[in-house]
A and B are shown apart, each in its own frame.
Chain A
C-alpha cells in the first residue's frame, strides 16, 4: 500500500449527492410498486414474501446500500447492494398481471441472489479476490438468471411451476418436461454454488487474523446463515414445499440482515475515520509530549502499530531510537504502509493486515500525520546518525588500542630483542678480552651501560604504550600496580571481580594513569584516592586529589583525550575541580 499526501479529495461531491437522491426517489417508487404487487399477488404464483417482508428486505438492501455508497464511495459494495435491492423489487414483477411484466418478473426472479453471492465473496473490499470467486459469481449468474431464461424458452406456466402465471411470452419450444429439467439443473447448480460460497467464507474466516475476524464477523455470520437458509429453501422447493412458505420467509428475513451487517461494519470504520479529526487536533497541540505511535495506533485502532522512519544515509528504515528495522515483506501477520511527502519516503507504518481493507482510513491518517511523521523522522535520523557516529568513535578507539598492542609487540619482539642480543654479545666480548686489552675495558663497559640505558628507555616507552600487566592480568591488578608506582601516595579501593573488554580496561587504565600523573605534577596535593567499581553493568572510576584544583578539560590536552576516549565507549566523563578544593575525575562506562 502506498499513501500519499492529499491524493484523495472529499468523496461526496454535489454530483454524487444528486445521483444518490435520484436513486432514493427511484427506490421509493420501486418499493411502493413491489409492495403493491406483493399485496395483490394472484393465487398460484411462486412463494414470494408478503408486502411487509418485501419492504423490509428491499429497504434494507437499498437503504444500507445508499448509506454505504455515501460513506465509502470508493467501495463497490454500496452500489452492489443498491443494485441488488432493485433486483429484489424487480422480482415482484412475477406477481404482475400484465403478461410482459409477468414474463420479465419470471426471468429476473432470482437475479438478486447473484448480488448476494457477490456481496459475500467480495466483502469487505468490494473486489473479488481470485478466479474461484469469479467462477462462483458466474455460477450464481448461470443458476439465478441463465438457466431460468433457458427454461423459459421451453416451458409454459406449468413447465415453469407457476400455475397462476400469465403466458410466458418468450416460450419458443413447447416442451414442459425439458423446462422442468432445466429448472432442476438450475436448483442443482444453485445448491453447489451456495455450498461452495459458504465453505469458502468459513475457510477465509478461519485463516483470518483475530482483528480481521472481529471486523468482518457480522457480515460473514449473517451472510452464511442467509445462504444456508436459501439452500434449505431450495431443497424444500425440490421436495414440493412441505412446510409451505415458512422456509422462504425465514430466508427472506435473514436476507434483510446482510446489508445491515455490511453497513454496520462500514459505520464502525467510519467511526474510526472520525478519529483522524481527533488525531489532527492532538498532533497540532504544541506540547512535544504527544507519543506519535500511540496517537496513530489509537486512530487506526491497531495497538500493534509500529513506526519506521526513512534514513536516507543508509537507505534503510530505523525506529524512533535510530536503530535499523526490517520491513516485513513476506510476513502474513504484518503489513507495511509507506508514507511519502513531496515524493520522498518519510516513514512506514507496520500494522495488522486488517487495515489493508480500510486503505482510505490509513491514507487519511498518514496524510494527517505526515508533518508529525516527518518531524519524528528527522529526530530518528539524528539518533541514527548519533548511533553511527558513536559506533565509528568506538571503532577508532578499538583500532587505536589494537595498534598500541601491535607496536608494543613489534618493539618487544624486534628492537628490544635485538638490543638485548647486542648487549649479550658485548658481554661475551668483554669476558673474552685478553689481559693486554685492559685499556679498552672502560670503553666496552661504557657501551654496555649506554645500551642498558637505551633498553631502559625503550622499556618505559613500551610500558606506556601497552602495559603488559594490564593486558595479562586485567584492570584491577594493573590499577593496583599503578597506584603503587604513583609519584603521589595513592589510596586504592577497587571492586572489579572480572576481566572487562580490552578497550574499556585500557581506557580506564590510561585515564587513571593520566590522572595520577596530573595530580603529581599540577595538584600540589599530598595524596590521591582512586576508586574503581564494576556492578555488572557499569564501570565507575574516580580519581580525586586533595590539591589546589582549577583543572579543566580544555587546558590539558591529556584530559580532553581521556574524556574523548571514555565518551567514545558510550561512557560519561566528568571533571570537578573547584579552586582550592582538589580535583576529581569521574568516568562511568557502560559494559554489560
Chain B
C-alpha cells in the first residue's frame, strides 16, 4: 500500500515514514504543507494520505481543509488526519465528507506500530477510523433530559465505542474475546435501545453511531 505523508515537523515526518516502511508500507512521498501535499498526490496518487492537521501557513486546521480538497478531487484516496487535540468536531467534519476510507487519530497513536498499520490498512480498504479518545469523549457526554445510553449495559457501551472507532464485528469480537455472533447480538440490541435504523455494513454504521453520539 502506498502512503503519502504531510507534516511540517521534519523529524516527525521522517520518523513516521521510517515507521511505516518498517511496517511494510511504500512511501509515495513526503510534504511539508498542504500545497506540497496536493502536488504530491496529483503526481503519485497514493492509496492513503496521512496528514497533520496543523500546518503552515496559519498553523490551525490546514490539514483538515486539505483532506476535504483531496476528498473532493480524488475520492478514492484514503485520508488519515493526525491531530494533537481531541476534537470531535473536526473528526465529524471529516467523516461527513464520506465515511469510506477516512480516519482521525491523535498524533501519539503512531507509537503503537501495530495499531497504526492496522488503521492505515483499514482506511486503505475503505474503512474508517476514529480515535478512541474522541469516541470516549462522545460516549461520555452528559445529555440534557433522558440519556438512552444509560440504558445500555457496560458491555454494550464497549461495543458501541468500538463500533464508533470504526471496527468491524470481527475486530470487536477479537478485542473483547467473544464470538462474532455475540457481537452481532449486542449490536442489534444497541440499535434497538437507541432507536437507530438497523444498520448496513460495518463501514457505514460508523457515521450513524457517531452522529447519534454527537447529537444532544
What's the A-B contact tally at a CB cutoff of 8 Å? 94
CB distance from A491 to the nearest CB of B (A): 6
Checking B110, B141, B142 against A424 with a beta-carbon cut-off of 8 angstroms, the contacting residue is B110
CB of B142 within 8 A of CB of A455, answer no
Q: Is A487's beta carbon under 8 Å from chain B?
A: yes
Interface size of A in residues (CB-CB distance below 8 Å)? 41
Checking A425, A432, A490 against B15 with a beta-carbon cut-off of 8 angstroms, the contacting residue is A425
CB of B11 within 8 A of CB of A421, answer yes
Q: Is B197's beta carbon under 8 Å from chain A?
A: no
Contact size class for B? Answer: 35 or more
CB distance from B56 to the nearest CB of A (A): 11
CB of A484 within 8 A of CB of B23, answer no
Checking A421, A432, A471, A488 against B12 with a beta-carbon cut-off of 8 angstroms, the contacting residue is A421
CB distance from A506 to the nearest CB of B (A): 15
CB distance from B1 to the nearest CB of A (A): 17
- Residue on A with the closest CB to B214? A484
CB of B22 within 8 A of CB of A473, answer no
A contact patch SS: helix
CB of A485 within 8 A of CB of B141, answer yes
Stretch of A101-109, A396-404, A409-417 with 4 or more beta carbons under 8 angstroms from chain B: A409-417
Complex contacts, B9 vs chain A, CB 8 Å: 413, 417
Q: Is A448's beta carbon under 8 Å from chain B?
A: yes
CB of B60 within 8 A of CB of A468, answer yes
Q: Is A567's beta carbon under 8 Å from chain B?
A: no
Q: Give Cα A31 to B149, complex, Å.
A: 118
Q: Known: A424-B111, A427-B111, A448-B111. Is A484-B216 also a contact (CB below 8 A)?
A: yes
Q: Is B145's beta carbon under 8 Å from chain A?
A: yes
CB distance from A144 to the nearest CB of B (A): 86
Q: Is A489's beta carbon under 8 Å from chain B?
A: yes
CB of B112 within 8 A of CB of A448, answer yes
CB of A489 within 8 A of CB of B60, answer no
Q: Give Cα A490 to B142, complex, Å.
A: 8
Complex contacts, B15 vs chain A, CB 8 Å: 421, 424-425, 428
CB distance from A300 to the nearest CB of B (A): 58
Q: Hey, what's the 0/1 contact readout for A467-499 against B, CB within 8 Å counting as 1?
A: 011011100010001001111111100000000
Q: Hey, what's the 0/1 contact readout for B127-147 against A, CB within 8 Å counting as 1?
A: 000000100010001111100
Q: Is B195's beta carbon under 8 Å from chain A?
A: no
Q: Give Cα A277 to B16, complex, Å.
A: 90
Q: Known: A455-B108, A487-B142, A490-B144. Is A424-B86 also a contact (CB below 8 A)?
A: no
Q: Is B107's beta carbon under 8 Å from chain A?
A: yes
Checking B19, B89, B111 against A473 with a beta-carbon cut-off of 8 angstroms, the contacting residue is B89
Complex contacts, A484 vs chain B, CB 8 Å: 88, 141, 214, 216
- Residue on A with the closest CB to B108? A455
- Residue on B with the closest CB to A529? B144
**Given A448-B112, A452-B108, A463-B85, 19 other A-B contacts at CB below 8 A?**
A409-B59, A416-B84, A416-B107, A417-B12, A419-B108, A420-B84, A428-B19, A428-B22, A430-B113, A431-B113, A448-B111, A451-B108, A455-B106, A456-B133, A459-B85, A462-B84, A484-B88, A489-B142, A489-B145
Residue numbers of B with Cβ under 8 A of A are 9, 11-12, 15-16, 18-19, 22-23, 54, 59-61, 84-89, 106-108, 110-114, 116, 133, 137, 141-145, 214, 216
The 10 closest A-B pairs by CB, nearest first: A423-B111, A489-B144, A427-B111, A472-B60, A431-B113, A455-B108, A427-B113, A489-B142, A424-B15, A424-B110
- 18 A-B pairs whose Cβ atoms sit less than 8 Å apart in the complex: A413-B9, A417-B9, A419-B108, A420-B12, A420-B111, A421-B15, A423-B110, A448-B111, A448-B112, A451-B111, A452-B111, A455-B106, A459-B86, A462-B84, A469-B89, A481-B87, A481-B88, A484-B88
Residue numbers of A with Cβ under 8 A of B are 409, 412-413, 416-417, 419-421, 423-428, 430-432, 448, 451-452, 455-456, 459, 462-463, 468-469, 471-473, 477, 481, 484-491, 527
